Structure 1
Amino acid sequence: MTAAEAPARVAAEDRFADLPAGPRICHRVDGPDDGEPLVLVAGLGLDLTSWPQRMVDGFTGRGFRVVRMDNRDAGRSGRIATPPPGRARQLLARPRPDAYDLTDMAADTVGLLDALGLGRVHLVGMSMGGMIAQVVAARHPHRVASLTSIFSTTGSRRVGQPARSTILRLARAAPRTAEESVERHLAMLGHIGGPGFPPDDDLERAWAAAVWERGGGDRSREVARQIGAIQASGDRTADLARITAPTLVVHGDVDRMVHPSGGRATAEAIAGARHVEIPGMGHHLAPGVVDRLVELTTDLARGAGRDDTARSAGADLPGGNR
């Protein structure tokens, strides 16, 4: 079949799941119905469109059924009614007593799996999404076939902290217009992106404009609540030791949003985790690094599948696990 004869990719549509014990979760599903399910969990303030289409296509091209979701307080998922923490609380890492936490966000992820009828999945999270994925793997081990944690951290205040220059940028007042939001995004990307993997500015400009519209404009209150969730969860290092799923931890060596020490600490906390630190990569899924991330995650998932098959076969042999 030539490129001209190949069927055009049909864009996935937003779908919604009303969770029995949580908010309404917006999601999209790509790839073959019979593919191994792979779930992508986005980072702080980001929606499901923050996963590059090249990355989604890379996974579906390898036979995965890819599920992307908007976390609570992001994209088109439900907003939480509690007030956001003020600037002082955020800077002092003192979350409100009524704040939700990463365990609640992990429960949303598991609730979506239930709504979609998915049992065990390959779980991939970036930044805050990596934290959520870690909690799912620690608290719901039977649901996670493999875990990929991308530029994330453990919650310990001794590791993974943003650079002071990044904190100053985050402390600025929220953008008031779509144009201001686009320019702010490009400026932040220039700061936290890695020198080895430059962004596609035209692609990023178009994405930032679309995400402003899709998310309903100013999202500062929602982002503040998500920051509160991270802070309310504290140091999760002990919880990470409970993870049994095959795990890949990926980080860049020039990350100004989550210091590379966060990735190292995450890998050290999870028994048998593979740690890959990519030179020149920052806190961004740039075009030049996407293919490598797809390959690394696919290798992990395929290896996890072979291990499951071997364990199942061993259980049927004399002396096997029963």
Structure 2
Amino acid sequence: MHKIIFSIFLALLATSVQADYSRLYFDHMPASSAESGDSEIAYRVFNRGADNPKLLLIMGLGGAGAAWGDAFIQALEFEGFEVIVIDNRDTGGSEMFTDWGKPTLWWQLLKYELGFSVDAPYTLSDMAADSLAVLNTIGYERVHVMGVSMGGMIAQVLAAQHPERVESLTSIMSTTFAPHLPPPTSVAEGNLRSLADGDAEASREDAMRNRGFYPESMERHLMAVFASGDRTKQVQTIRKPTLVIHGSEDPLIPPEHGVHTAEQIEGAEFVLIEGMGHNLPESFHPQVIGLMSEHINKVHSP
């Protein structure tokens, strides 16, 4: 398990920056904020419309809303969706937990593997509650929910714990975090070894921030995943229409994780996208959005 987690943290540093990315459109939309407990959660709403299906997007590890990029958001708008994009806590314009500090990963990993609780400033349930706070602030009772990677985990928690607020679930390149599932492939480990030091590393971090990722928050997000642990039993309680999408070439969370997720949810559909890895490059947008649109249109009630 420690191999999976440490790879998730570091491989993102090597793979999260893509050339086909812009955030000018995203940044043009002013952010609003919602109160979630003691935290402020920033969000943006695109393509508002009373009759437009409401779609909540939840980004993955260390990712703010900007990480979705203009192309993905605009493609969803073209399909007629009203798109709600949140900054996960500890990213973007949302509450930062810098004062909590950074966890000592090796120690927390050891505690987790020995069955002890880890130290975490928040859990995936808290992050799901952030989404509820945004929906409450906007005044929406139910939405369609889509999450990628850790965002898929949060979306699963939201569908399991608050089914009355979820119309449908789309979980992409995510996992239940069951311990028997396979670790990252050698490709992901190769990405780890390619990480540079010095100026190159600083340049990579700047690029990640511009792309909407916050390296200093990734370890705390990991602790949220640790603290939540294996969620298989929880995922088995989901009764919402569910689509699970995974890339055949995902080196970070291998496809077996997606298969396992779909198997736990009654009636869930699993789709393997050939050639897709652990990202959403623009070349795969038509296929991913087409699948999700078809899924949502089957269940959407205006």
The normalised TM-score by structure 2 is: 0.81
Give 3-state SS (helix, strand or coil) of 2:100's partner: coil
In the TM superposition, what is the alpha-carbon distance from 1:176 to its structure 2 partner? 7.3
- Number of the residue aligned with 2:122: 100
In the TM superposition, what is the alpha-carbon distance from 1:209 to its structure 2 partner? 5.9
- Number of the residue aligned with 1:197: none
Give 3-state SS (helix, strand or coil) of 2:94's partner: coil
- Number of the residue aligned with 2:13: none
In the TM superposition, what is the alpha-carbon distance from 1:167 to its structure 2 partner? 5.5
Q: 1:25 to 1:136 in 2, by over 3 A?
A: same
- Number of the residue aligned with 1:26: 42
Give 3-state SS (helix, strand or coil) of 2:240's partner: coil
After superposition, the C-alpha distances for 1:33-82 in whole angstroms (9 at most, x for unaligned) are 32221010000011111113222112111221101111001122111242
Amino acid aligned to 1:300? H
73-82 or 139-148, larger mean C-alpha shift: 73-82
- Number of the residue aligned with 1:189: none
Alignment partner of 2:88 out of 71, 80, 93: 71
Kindly indicate whether the alpha-carbon contact (under 8 Å) linking 2:108 and 2:119 is maintained by their aligned counterparts in 1. no
Kindly indicate whether the alpha-carbon contact (under 8 Å) linking 2:205 and 2:215 is maintained by their aligned counterparts in 1. no
- Number of the residue aligned with 1:235: 230
Kindly indicate whether the alpha-carbon contact (under 8 Å) linking 2:118 and 2:226 is maintained by their aligned counterparts in 1. no
CA distance in 2, matches of 1:10, 1:111: 21
Gaps of 5+ in 1: 1-8, 186-204, 310-322
In the TM superposition, what is the alpha-carbon distance from 1:182 to its structure 2 partner? 4.7
| Residues 1:13 and 2:29 aligned together | yes
- Number of the residue aligned with 1:248: 243
- Aligned residue pairs total 272
Kindly indicate whether the alpha-carbon contact (under 8 Å) linking 1:241 and 1:269 is maintained by their aligned counterparts in 2. yes
TM alignment of 1:135-154, pairs within 5 A: 135-154=157-176
TM alignment of 1:201-212, pairs within 5 A: 208=208, 210-211=210-211
Q: 1:46 to 1:11 in 2, by over 3 A?
A: closer
Kindly indicate whether the alpha-carbon contact (under 8 Å) linking 2:33 and 2:40 is maintained by their aligned counterparts in 1. yes
In the TM superposition, what is the alpha-carbon distance from 1:22 to its structure 2 partner? 4.0
Gaps of 5+ in 2: 1-24
CA distance in 2, matches of 1:50, 1:295: 20
Percent identical pairs in the alignment equals 35
| Residues 1:127 and 2:149 aligned together | yes
Amino acid aligned to 1:227? L
Give 3-state SS (helix, strand or coil) of 2:74's partner: helix
Kindly indicate whether the alpha-carbon contact (under 8 Å) linking 1:72 and 1:105 is maintained by their aligned counterparts in 2. yes
The normalised TM-score by structure 1 is: 0.76
- Number of the residue aligned with 2:288: 293
Rg: which structure is higher? 1
CA distance in 2, matches of 1:10, 1:210: 12
- Number of the residue aligned with 2:68: 51
Alignment partner of 2:57 out of 33, 40, 44: 40
Kindly indicate whether the alpha-carbon contact (under 8 Å) linking 1:16 and 1:24 is maintained by their aligned counterparts in 2. no
Amino acid aligned to 2:59? A
In the TM superposition, what is the alpha-carbon distance from 1:29 to its structure 2 partner? 1.1
Q: 1:76 to 1:287 in 2, by over 3 A?
A: same
| Residues 1:270 and 2:286 aligned together | no
